[in-house]
Structure 1
Amino acid sequence: MSAAAGAGEGVGPDDLVDGQLPITAREEHFSLAFLRMIVYEAGCSIKTHETDYDGVDVTIVSSARYDRWIAPQFELQMKCTTQRNYLKADHMAWRMKAKPFRKLTNGPRYVPAYLGVLVIPEAPEPWLSVDDDRLMTKSRMYWQAASEIATSDELGDTRTVHLPRGNLFERDQLLGIMRAIGDDEGGAR
């Protein structure tokens, strides 16, 4: 058996960091773990998808009763990067391939969709720091409703989307999204 076959299909020894998971797999799992901490801290839950064929990775659900709906939910497409050069003064500029962009933004959707991009530290800086008092990370995730995504570079194989720096994915903003959906306020859906 070759090293690539033993490490996983299409993964060669040069793709592995320190003989462990490839960096892309680490980023994917770390972004989901980050998301879970925020979602569970807010008292919400996550439904996973077996595929992201519809352009989303997970569905985030609240169990709360709001003015219009009980248990509002939204779908989220997750991305992860170490590239801090995407951060501008007032937004994060994220380039998406045209096909996943269309899947995410072509609506209307019955369940609102959002894009979340997690920015993690670049190697060799650790992604996490743990001591007796806390678990810390210098990571942060920016979000935008698919219905609100402004684009540039409309021609070609990619689209640039802008996620406002003020849209920091954290407990209070997550609960605000749920409130807007549950109260049927419209807007960023």
Structure 2
Amino acid sequence: MNTALLKGNGGTAISHSKESLSLAYMQAILAATGLNHNEPKIDNDGVDITIRGKGFKGVFKEPKIEVQLKCTAKSDCIDLKNNELVFQLEKKNYNYLIGPSPLPLILVVHFAPPGFDEWLIEKGEGTTIKYASYWYSLYGEEPIDNGSRIIRIPLKQRFDCQALIKMMELTSKAQMIYNLEEGVV
């Protein structure tokens, strides 16, 4: 069965609902950290959201990070042997995320259960979004000419409140955001 044709009870295609899920997870992290965001009306250049800070100590008092959001529910995208999330990124998005850019660029991929009905746990005490998002910096990679590229995101690069605040602190100090195996964050 072609999962691209699946629709939720409300009629929205699963691909569009996955976009909404990744944005909802991002907005929950932003709310918990007190950061703000902008969303372009049209995703014309590979940016789904710009994260904005205020009152940071550093070169930039109001740091910004641009983010490309993706969501996957493929059961084979988690490589437990290597502790990585494996995601195929199309040329257009890949080449945009390698830079150069006046703002730091990151990819954030949300890993979700396969079915709509599994995305949230709703109980009397609250609602939980399942599973988690992971971030990756492609800055400085070589462009690709066609197709796509497999991105292997270490599971230790979980996109959470602590990681986001650290990225904003680095950005405010005019420092690059590097993947964990490369050093800085």
TM range (shorter): 0.7 to 0.9
Give, in angstroms, the shift of residue 156 of structure 1: 4.7
TM-score normalised by L of structure 2: 0.83
Q: Is 2:50 aligned against 1:47?
A: no
Distance in 1 separating the partners of 2:93 and 2:45:
8
Partner of 1:37 in structure 2? 28
The match for 1:103 among 96, 101, 112 is 96
2:136, 2:157 within 8 Å by CA — same for their partners in 1?
yes
The Cα of 1:93 is off from its aligned counterpart by 1.7
| Number of residue pairs aligned between Structure 1 and Structure 2 | 173
> Within 5 A, what are the aligned runs for 1:21-170?
21-88=12-79, 89-105=82-98, 107-123=99-115, 126-147=118-139, 156-170=146-160
SS in 1 for 2:51: strand
Gaps of 5+ in 1: 1-13
Return 5+ residue gaps in structure 2 as ranges: 180-185
Distance, in Å, in 2 between the alignment partners of 1:36 and 1:63 is 17
Aligned partner of residue 147 in structure 1, secondary structure: coil
Question: What is the alpha-carbon distance in structure 2 between the residues aligned to residue 141 and residue 164 of structure 1?
Answer: 11
Residue identity opposite 1:121 in structure 2: P
Whether 1:180 and 2:170 are equivalent positions in the alignment is: yes
Distance 1:155 1:67, change over 3 A: closer
Q: Which amino acid aligns with 2:58?
A: D
Q: Percent identity?
A: 23
Which deviations, in whole Å up to 9, do the C-alpha atoms of 1:128-167 show, x marking residues without a partner?
Answer: 112222221322001012316699xx67511111222111
Distance in 2 between residues matched to 1:24 and 1:187, nearest whole Å: 29
CA distance in 1, matches of 2:45, 2:157: 23
> Secondary structure in 1 aligned to 2:95?
helix
The 8 Å contact of residues 46 and 93 in structure 2, kept in 1 or not, is answered as yes
**What is the alpha-carbon root mean square deviation over aligned residues?**
2.3
Separation in structure 1 between the aligned mates of residue 10 and residue 126 of structure 2, nearest angstrom: 28
Letter in 2 for 1:70: K
Which has the greater radius of gyration? 1
Query: Aligned equivalents of 1:67 and 1:163: distance in 2?
Result: 29
Shift of 1:17: 3.3
